Amino acid sequence: MTDKLVQPFSQKRTAELAESLSAGGTIKGRSLWADARNRFVANKAAMASVVVLLLVFAFSLLGDYLTQFDNETIDWDVMGSVKELGRPSLSNGHWFGFDESGRDLYSRVVQGSRISLSVGLVGAFIAVMVGTLYGSVAGFVGGRVDSIMMRLVDIFMSIPYMFVLILLLVVFGRSISMLFVGIGLTAWLDMSRIVRGQTLSLKNREYVEAAVAMGVSTPKIITRHIVPNLLGVVVVYATLLVPQMILTESFISFLGLGVQEPDTSWGALISEGVKSMNYGTLWHLAFPLFFFVITIFCFFFIGDGLRDALDPKDR
Amino acid sequence: MNDLSPLLSVDDLRVWFDIKRQGAMPWTPTDTLKAVDGVSFDLMPGETLGIVGESGCGKSTLARAVMRMVPAETGTALWLGEDLLSMSKREMRGHRKEMQMIFQDPLASLDPRMTIGQIVAEPLKTHFPDLSAKEVKNRVREVLDRVGILPNMVNRYPHEFSGGQCQRIGIARALIVKPKLIICDEPVSALDVSIQAQVINLLMEIQQEMGLSLIFIAHDLSVVKHISNRVMVLYLGNVVEISDSVQLYKSPGHPYTEALISAVPIPDPKAEKGKEVMLLDRDLPSPLDPPSGCVFRTRCPIAEARCAESKPPLKDQGNGQAVACHLR
Ligand code: SF4
């Protein structure tokens, strides 16, 4: 930073500057977002995680095109003797080997990645939207409305959410959409609390007071002044929420309540892998576990990087 | 100017806050903090009224109550004959463009995520949503130019400016809707002394040009001296003196005003040395439990027995001076 300041303006630059001043042109400002982006790009662990994560995404979306096998066809020859014939092998194109039922494990992992990632993203999205709206309204309106809204959150929070989720899946049937709804609906509670706290502190900032004084309406104040200033916190929390969603889904699937055959997810694949561990087919566990772990790690690193980049203390 | 009717006429304004004691049960009665307790004043068009008092005396709360940013308990605030405090929110919103506010912390009063162009345009867009984008842009440039900010800075963000510049931007934001009144809530107390003068001069120039009324809040008398026509001194939510500015400095009426004036440094070192500073012993009493009778009684050097019995009314002394003290 400092060497940039010390460096004298090159003549060309000075000329440009003078020209833009005289021509009545405008000088581009450096927004807080631009600052944060620069800090984030400088964070090596976070940037590496972004790259790895993009590869995982690409794998889940495009992985199917790289193999001639699909995720349904059962190879009856292999089925009975997966341990001997179903090993991962580069020569026959079954890179990850076969699963317990004689299906191509590579295709299964691609399929599982797609479902796990979308559960994570969609679940986090629902949670963030509901939580941000709920929390910012409660925080900004304040008073009795705030008390009632937050007590409601307290009550919901006191119910063990795993229990609710399992109940939902049992009562309404096990489907992916139910899983989305169930996970999303329980995860917004934390979000709403965080956002409410932030809103309370933002509400007393002078620029919000200034907006009130100049006659800006309440909805406009929330969307124009509160939410953009909340965004930093929301973004950080959202990136940390995605792996949490993936973990929840995996746990539910591990218990056998989540996605159902023929669909699969990382959790379901890991669960199968664990069951067949005793038969010596360790690759059943290793491949899905690998993707699961690196994805979770990447999200955490990115979340950390974002938090450092957006930290208002650095301003 | 005296034959005009007042722009703003505040009568017996009270703002009370309910304060919950720490760890109190929801049903125990709350304490009442009388932040503003029966304040009345008139503000003429084109006039500057200075409001002075220690922190916590209710001067900011008074301004915010007039602007309907905190609810008032009782009282009226007539704006050209209409009561601001009893009108609906919608009606009030229509009037907000006529009165604008400038804040204490210049940087904090600007949204860090908006460019200064957007910030200055916001009141205009709020009150005149039909203006074309081009017109808005022209008005923004014009008003920025007036307050001494290069108009080609419109795409910059508040953190790229100094405190004094930020306050100029705040002034530009207030000016853009051509208000009749600007309430300045300690606009210079967060700035360096050298910049304070610039900002005050800017405000005075603009006031002359546009015929604005100003309410200028400050916590010491020296800042208010140059800019105000009249000065109102507040103590624990009560008006203790409201006087013509020249008169107030020449012969302060209330013992509290005297103490405040004696604390203002005199530029002449000799005079400063010989000057007697009237120190107020004891701390400001808790506003939750103000003294009976005259609120200033616990710190007044000339207090008598009757001061504890009844509250002194604000008495007009003629010569443009009104003082609330039994002995004056
Ligand atoms: S009324 Fe009494 S206590 Fe109050 S200022 Fe006057 S002399 Fe002092």
B269 pLDDT more than 80:
no
**3-state DSSP assignment of residue B97:** helix
A82 pLDDT more than 80:
no
Classify residue B156: in a domain, yes or no.
Answer: no
Do the beta carbons of residue B228 and residue B244 sit within 8 Å?
no
Q: Considering chain A, what is the average pLDDT of its residues?
A: 78
Classify residue B103: in a domain, yes or no.
Answer: no
Q: A196-199 long-range CB contacts below 8 Å, 24 or more apart?
A: A196/A135, A196/A136, A196/A138, A196/A139, A196/A146, A196/A150, A197/A135, A197/A139, A198/A135, A198/A139, A198/A230, A198/A233, A199/A135, A199/A136, A199/A138, A199/A139, A199/A140, A199/A226, A199/A230
B209 pLDDT more than 80:
yes
Please give the share of chain B, as a percent, with pLDDT higher than 70: 93
Contacts of A215 in chain B (CB under 8 A): 92-93, 96-97, 123, 126-127
Residue carrying structure tokens 């800017």: B202
- Ligand 1 centroid–CA B321 distance in Å is 16
Give the span between the Cα atoms of B112 and A35, in whole angstroms: 12
Could A214 and B151 be called an inter-chain contact, meaning their C-beta atoms sit closer than 8 Å? no
Instruction: Report if pTM > 0.95.
Output: no
pLDDT confidence of residue A3: 44
B108, B110, B160 member nearest A29 (Cβ):
B160
Among A66, A85, A90, A64, which Cα is nearest to A75's? A85
pLDDT confidence of residue A5: 44
Give the span between the Cα atoms of A138 and A215, in whole angstroms: 21
Please compute, for residue A11, the number of CA atoms within 13 A of its CA located in the half-sphere on the CB side.
0
Instruction: Place B49 in a pLDDT band, splitting at 50, 70 and 90.
Output: very high
- Mean pLDDT for A186-198 is 87
A24 pLDDT more than 60:
no
Kindly provide the ipTM of the predicted complex, given to two decimals: 0.80
Give the span between the Cα atoms of B56 and A302, in whole angstroms: 45
A1 pLDDT more than 50:
no
Q: Of A4-13, A50-59, A137-146, give the lowest mean pLDDT range.
A: A4-13
Do the strands B99-102 and B82-83 form a parallel or antiparallel pair, or are they unpaired? Answer: unpaired
Q: Closest ligand 1 atom, CA of B304?
A: 2
Classify residue B194: in a domain, yes or no.
Answer: no
User: Å from A66 to nearest chain B CA?
Assistant: 45
The residue contributing the CA closest to ligand 1 atom 5 is B325
Q: What is the dihedral of CA A205, A206, A208, A212, to 10 degrees?
A: 140
Could you tell me the residue ranges of all domains in chain A? Answer: 94-314
User: Cβ neighbours of residue A22 under 8 Å, at least 6 residues apart?
Assistant: none
Among A292, A118, A260, which Cα is nearest to A175's? A260
Could B100 and A214 be called an inter-chain contact, meaning their C-beta atoms sit closer than 8 Å? yes
- Give the burial string for A197-221 (b: 16+ CB within 10 Å, else e): ebbeebbebbbbbbbbbbbbeeeeb
What is the chain B residue with the closest CA to A231? B113
Pocket test for ligand 1, best of B278, B295, B307, B311 (most atoms within 8 A of CB): B307
pLDDT confidence of residue B182: 92
Superfamily of domain A94-314: MetI-like (1.10.3720.10)
Between A314 and B146, where is the model more confident? B146
Summarised one tens digit per residue, pLDDT across range A60-74 is 888 777 777 777 666
Classify residue B63: in a domain, yes or no.
Answer: yes
Give the span between the Cα atoms of A273 and A86, in whole angstroms: 14
Classify residue B100: in a domain, yes or no.
Answer: no
Could B103 and A216 be called an inter-chain contact, meaning their C-beta atoms sit closer than 8 Å? no
Do the beta carbons of residue B133 and residue B143 sit within 8 Å?
no
B100 pLDDT more than 70:
yes
User: Å from B323 to nearest chain A CA?
Assistant: 32
Angle at A13 between CA A11 and CA A16, to 5 degrees: 110
Residue carrying structure tokens 């919950």: B20
pLDDT confidence of residue A6: 43
Chain A touched by B39 (CB under 8 Å): no
User: Å from B294 to nearest chain A CA?
Assistant: 33
Q: Closest ligand 1 atom, CA of B302?
A: 7
Q: Of A16-20, A97-101, A107-111, B144-148, give the lowest mean pLDDT range.
A: A16-20
A32, A206, A217 member nearest B109 (Cβ):
A206
| Highest-confidence segment of A11-25, A72-86, A294-308 | A294-308
Could A24 and B153 be called an inter-chain contact, meaning their C-beta atoms sit closer than 8 Å? no
- Mean pLDDT for B277-283 is 69
DSSP letters along B10-67, please? EEEEEEEEEEPPTT--TTSPPEEEEEEEEEEEEE-TT-EEEEE--TTSSHHHHHHHHT
pLDDT confidence of residue A12: 59
- As for how many domains chain B has, the answer is 1
Give the span between the Cα atoms of B202 and B206, in whole angstroms: 6
CATH number, residue B293: 3.40.50.300
Domain hosting residue B237, numbered range: 8-94+229-323
User: DSSP character for B323?
Assistant: E
The contact set of A with B (CB < 8 A) is 20-21, 24-33, 205-207, 209-217, 220, 224-225, 228-229, 315
- Mean pLDDT for B68-85 is 87
Q: Closest ligand 1 atom, CA of B297?
A: 3
Residues 86 through 115 of chain B touching chain A, CB cutoff 8 Å:
92-93, 96-97, 100-101, 103-105, 108-113, 115
Give the span between the Cα atoms of A225 and B318, in whole angstroms: 49
Classify residue B236: in a domain, yes or no.
Answer: yes
Residue B292 to residues A77, B74, B297, Cα–Cα distance (Å): 99, 21, 8
Give the span between the Cα atoms of A131 and A127, in whole angstroms: 6
pLDDT confidence of residue A4: 44
Among A196, A229, A225, which Cα is nearest to A210's? A225
pLDDT confidence of residue A205: 83
For an interface test with A, the pick among B68, B111, B126 (most A C-beta atoms closer than 10 Å) comes out as B111
Classify residue B88: in a domain, yes or no.
Answer: yes
A50 pLDDT more than 50:
yes
